[in-house]
Amino acid sequence: MTALLEVDGLVKHFVAARSVFGRPTAYVKAVDGVSFTVEAGKTLALVGESGCGKSTVSRLVLRLIEPDAGSVRFEGRDLGTLSANELRAFRRHAQIIFQDPYASLNPRMTVSQILSEPLALHDLVPAPRRRERVEQLLRLVGLEPRFARRYPHEFSGGQRQRIAIARALAVEPKLIICDEPVSALDVSIRSQILNLLRDLQNRLGLAYIFVSHDLAVVKHIADRVAVMNLGGIVETADAAALFAAPRHPYSRALLSAIPVPKPQARRGRIVLEGEMPSALNPPSGCRFHTRCPYVIERCRTEIPPLLADGAGHAAACHRTAELPSPGAIVPADGGFSPVLEKLVAAFSGGTEGARRGGVDISVTRPSAV
Ligand SMILES: Nc1ncnc2c1ncn2[C@@H]1O[C@H](COP(=O)(O)OP(=O)(O)OP(=O)(O)O)[C@@H](O)[C@H]1O
């Protein structure tokens, strides 16, 4: 069966500097060979630190910007080959919601006008029936129909995000890109919006690309996860497999930062020190090597391929087979686990060596029960 969305080898380099004659002299390698698929009715989470290229991937998928190389296929059709009219029809099927709904909702329009606009634009519902459809959309996102007459500033952040979701749903899309949809919301509201998204997915069969820097949020919504670092995917797997046993050192570091409810079950915290290298001048070889606790010489020169096992769990690391199992990172006595200690000592010139190399592996002592 064909996936709803197939992204293959996407590349986007932005010009960062030009010579006096206007010739490009430097590029930001924002997206550098990204491939993934999204199944109908499922959620793929794109996770990584700020600047790793998540938003650029989103814009490429929606064809808001043109890729330098690679393809995006939606229901088997290459978006690069679509006419302007076909692209308009595609946009009906693929919507986006943003982190800050206030910025994306026109403050001079009532909710009714905001939700009616896409209905008129795509000629979906005849004018006399639009009011009814607007009320239906509001109910779908848990808002009262009487709110239709109000303006965006009259709502709370969570309610505004519900309106943005309703607007995306107005055109009955198959795919919604959720770009950090709960990052700007109060923690108490986040789970309500995540529950709403999950509920809508179950009822309407929606697929999501869920863009986030926060693995803790992703855990509640993703079927599959793709971890991005500096323009490339370093690990991709079913969510359950990735959270149970992350293979790439970068995924492990991100995962170790998630707070856990039971202190006694806390994982060893892997703190990556130093700035993320710039996409303007990415490191040679493995792009994570300057911050990796397990770096060896080969990592500095050779780009590791993203190799998948039979279960579709792929990691781009020369050393995945040798790394200790993630469970072994959990310290037994508050110090380094013996396996991690040995590895650090053997490969990085001891823990001091690792620190000199800009990497600090600190392991949090589990609290007394
Ligand atoms: N139009 C542009 N021109 C030049 N550089 C750009 C442009 N858009 C993005 N970039 C650069 O590309 C890289 C990836 O940016 P992108 O916004 O995709 O990352 P991100 O992971 O979504 O980060 P954030 O979460 O902060 O939005 C960054 O280094 C960014 O500065």
Look up the CATH number of the domain holding residue 207.
Answer: 3.40.50.300
Calculate Rg over the CA atoms of the chain. 23
Residue 303 has pLDDT above 80, yes or no: yes
Instruction: For residue 369, report the distance from its CA to the centre of ligand 1, in Å.
Output: 44
Residue 28: CB within 6 Å of ligand 1?
yes
- What pLDDT is recorded for position 341? 41
Mean pLDDT of 315-328: 82
23 & 160 share domain: yes
Instruction: For residue 99, report the distance from its CA to the centre of ligand 1, in Å.
Output: 15
Q: What are the beta bridge partners of residue 17?
A: 26
Residue 356 has pLDDT above 60, yes or no: no
Q: Which residue owns the Cα nearest ligand 1 atom 31?
A: 51
Last residue of a domain, one of 226, 261, 276: 226
Q: Determine the atom of ligand 1 nearest the C-alpha atom of 16.
A: 4
Question: How confident is the model over 86-113, as pLDDT tens digits?
Answer: 998 899 999 999 998 778 899 999 999 9
CA separation (Å) from 92 to 111, 115, 210? 20, 14, 18
pTM for the predicted model, two decimal places: 0.85
120 & 210 share domain: yes
* Strands ordered across the beta sheet of 5-18: 24-38, 5-18, 69-74, 77-78
Could you tell me if residue 362 is inside a domain? Answer: no
Of residues 184 and 352, more confidence is placed in 184
Q: Encoding tokens for residue 178? A: 């959720």
**Phi/psi-derived region of residue 33, left when phi > 0, alpha when psi is between -120 and 50, beta in every other case:** left
Could you tell me if residue 232 is inside a domain? Answer: no
CA separation (Å) from 227 to 9, 73, 196, 290? 16, 21, 24, 17
Could you tell me if residue 369 is inside a domain? Answer: no
Residue 54: CB within 6 Å of ligand 1?
yes
Could you tell me if residue 152 is inside a domain? Answer: yes
Could you tell me if residue 233 is inside a domain? Answer: no
Residue 364 has pLDDT above 80, yes or no: no
- What pLDDT is recorded for position 276? 74
Question: How confident is the model over 216-267, as pLDDT tens digits?
Answer: 899 889 999 999 999 999 999 999 999 999 999 999 999 887 766 655 555 5
Instruction: For residue 336, report the distance from its CA to the centre of ligand 1, in Å.
Output: 36
Domain extent at residue 310: 246-356
281 & 185 share domain: no
- What pLDDT is recorded for position 342? 39
Instruction: For residue 284, report the distance from its CA to the centre of ligand 1, in Å.
Output: 20
172 & 255 share domain: no
Last residue of a domain, one of 191, 226, 261: 226
23 & 112 share domain: yes
259 & 320 share domain: yes
- What pLDDT is recorded for position 367? 33
Residue 163: CB within 6 Å of ligand 1?
no
Question: How confident is the model over 264-280, as pLDDT tens digits?
Answer: 555 566 777 666 788 88
Instruction: For residue 301, report the distance from its CA to the centre of ligand 1, in Å.
Output: 25
252 & 174 share domain: no
135 & 54 share domain: yes
53 & 106 share domain: yes
Ligand 1 pocket: which of 28, 183, 227 to mutate (most atoms within 8 A of CB): 28
334 & 205 share domain: no
191 & 253 share domain: no
Residue 55: CB within 6 Å of ligand 1?
yes
Instruction: For residue 234, report the distance from its CA to the centre of ligand 1, in Å.
Output: 18
152 & 180 share domain: yes
Q: Which residue owns the Cα nearest ligand 1 atom 8?
A: 56
pLDDT band at 357 (very low <50, low <70, confident <90, very high): very low
In whole angstroms, give the CA distance from residue 191 to residue 137. 20
Could you tell me if residue 266 is inside a domain? Answer: yes
Instruction: For residue 12, report the distance from its CA to the centre of ligand 1, in Å.
Output: 10
Q: Determine the atom of ligand 1 nearest the C-alpha atom of 52.
A: 21
Residue 283: CB within 6 Å of ligand 1?
no
Domain count, the chain: 2
Last residue of a domain, one of 167, 192, 226: 226
Residue 56: CB within 6 Å of ligand 1?
yes
CA separation (Å) from 28 to 16, 24, 163? 6, 11, 35
* Complex ipTM value: 0.97
